[in-house]
Amino acid sequence: MSWREVRFVGTVEETDGEEAKVHLSAEYCPGLKGITGFSHLIILYWMHLRDSEKDRRTLLVFPKNHAVKVETGVFACRSPSRPNPIGLAVVSLVKVEKCVLRVRGLDAAEGSPVIDIKPYLPRADCVPDARVPSWTTQGPAT
């Protein structure tokens, strides 16, 4: 295996809009040791439904569901069309059952391959005084 290969560790299953199940492959289950001590996780996943040559070449977009229509680059927004269709979500950990995580707040589609899972660390992952363009404050949570 090349060091350049992405190894999917699991799959998103059973999303109902609020909760989802993330099923890890058996070989990665030992990596869950200690995860129940965290209330939130960061899930990195592959947006497989946007993995097309057209979506990978899209560099300028109008972010959807915002009150202001502003053309912006994909690196300045959360568009699913990206050179590498990697999604990121901060989720609440609801329950762990063997190799399955039940989480709340995951915006991935069913069948999405999971790239990695990381614990959410407030001291490292929260930036209280972060600056953002005004158009980002007028729309849905992303």
Domains contained in the chain, number: 2
92 and 108 in one domain? yes
Mean confidence (pLDDT) of the chain: 91
Residue of 58, 71, 81, 59 lying closest to 135 (CA atoms) = 71
36 and 7 in one domain? yes
In a domain, 8, yes or no: yes
39 and 2 in one domain? yes
Q: Which domain holds residue 108?
A: 1-47+88-121
pTM of the entire structure? 0.89
8 and 67 in one domain? no
State how far the Cα of 103 lies from the Cα of 87, in Å rounded to an integer.
16
40 and 56 in one domain? no
Find how far residue 127's CA is from the centre of its chain.
Answer: 18
**What is the percent of the chain where pLDDT is above 70?**
95
pLDDT in tens, 27-79: 999 999 999 999 999 999 999 999 999 999 999 999 887 767 889 999 998 88
